[in-house]
Amino acid sequence: MVPWFAVDDSEGFGSATMERLYRSLRRIRRVEEEIARVYPSDKIKSPVHLSIGQEAVSVGVCATLRPDDIVFGTYRSHALYLAKGGDLRRMIAELYGKLHGCGKGKAGSMHLVDVRAGVMGTSAVVGTTIPHAVGYAYALRQRREDRVVVAFFGDGASEEGVFWESLNFAALKRLPMIFVCENNLYAIHTPLSMRQPPGSIADRVRPFGLAAERIEDNDVSAIHERTREALSLLRDGRSGPIFLECMTYRWREHVGPNEDFDLGYRTRDEAKPWIDNDPMARLAAALTPARRERMDAEIEAEIREAFQSAEASPWPPDGELYRDVYGEVEWDAS
């Protein structure tokens, strides 16, 4: 089948790209494994929704973005935050509830933000950042900027009314944005097959006038290439919004650090093909052992320093509880 665009292989998927993708995948995986290790100690004060198994979507997309491009995400936010360039030290401090966190210790894992890196926010409420992304893209269109906005969300968010309203407005205004559906086949514990009729989400999106494609098998290289071409079309004004449904699978429980196959809603046999096809392991096998070991050592040192920094960071003072609650407005009494 011919995809909705012809991929330009002129840049190729060379060793430099493989190394960059591997480093990002490995870094996110090891950060979250360390979060899972520390979590039972109660040092981490925020509930955590781990992206272990799903990293390829954020990494494949964000590796193609410019620093000034914008992303909005969901409560399963660690992979997106880190892949887009968010500050690791501030992220871990935020999970610890510390003052030096990216939300001053008040936001937690589900509400990460790093405006410097173009991470404009993630949310614990399903679907709520999708219209925010559309609004930002509309502003870019009005200003005639060539930046692009990417909205990340899960398959469950496609069942919210605001999702379809956002698609309609984005298509109508030909907004410079990519909708990225991280389809991990479950909305918490309910499988997709019990919530939606047969067929892909991409199939249901096309009638709104969006170019849409489903990318199978958690394929980081395919996600990377399709996003790269999509960005070229959007920056040149040759396309309206684009929809990518990226099939993926989470390895851990919906919320928390553990496995959950004993709950009965899914089986280890179902997960096995996804684990065996781990894109991080496949990229690792393509790198030279010396180069891979050097990157791994650098990642471990960075993670160790980030957790040590979070431990040493102070708690927010009592007065911080009342800051950032309301916007400061100056009134002219005259």
d(CA 97, CA 100): 9
Structural domain spans, the chain: 51-87+105-248+255-283
CATH number of the domain located at residue range(s) 51-87+105-248+255-283 in this protein: 3.40.50.970
Q: What is the pLDDT of residue 65?
A: 98
Q: What is the pLDDT of residue 10?
A: 39
pTM of the model: 0.93
On whether the CB atoms of residues 117 and 87 are closer than 8 A, the answer is yes
Q: How many CB atoms lie within 10 A of CB 125?
A: 11
Tell me the C-alpha to C-alpha distance, in Å, between residue 268 and each of 29, 55, 160, 260.
Answer: 20, 19, 29, 9
Q: What is the pLDDT of residue 333?
A: 66
Average pLDDT, the chain: 94
Q: How many CB atoms lie within 10 A of CB 191?
A: 14
Q: What is the pLDDT of residue 201?
A: 98
pLDDT in tens, the chain (334 residues): 222 222 333 344 578 999 999 999 999 999 999 999 999 999 999 999 999 999 999 999 999 999 999 999 999 999 999 999 999 999 999 999 999 999 999 999 999 999 999 999 999 999 999 999 999 999 999 999 999 999 999 999 999 999 999 999 999 999 999 999 999 999 999 999 999 999 999 999 999 999 999 999 999 999 999 999 999 999 999 999 999 999 999 999 999 999 999 999 999 999 999 999 999 999 999 999 999 999 999 999 999 999 999 999 999 999 888 888 887 767 676 5
Give residues with Cβ within 8 angstroms of 72, minimum separation 6. Answer: 120, 121, 122, 129, 130, 132, 133, 136, 149, 150, 151, 152
Q: Could you tell me where the DSSP H helices lie in the chain?
A: 15-38, 55-62, 78-83, 88-95, 129-143, 161-172, 201-205, 220-235, 268-276, 279-286, 289-312
Rounded CA Rg of the chain: 20
Structure tokens at 281: 């392991």
Q: What is the pLDDT of residue 2?
A: 27
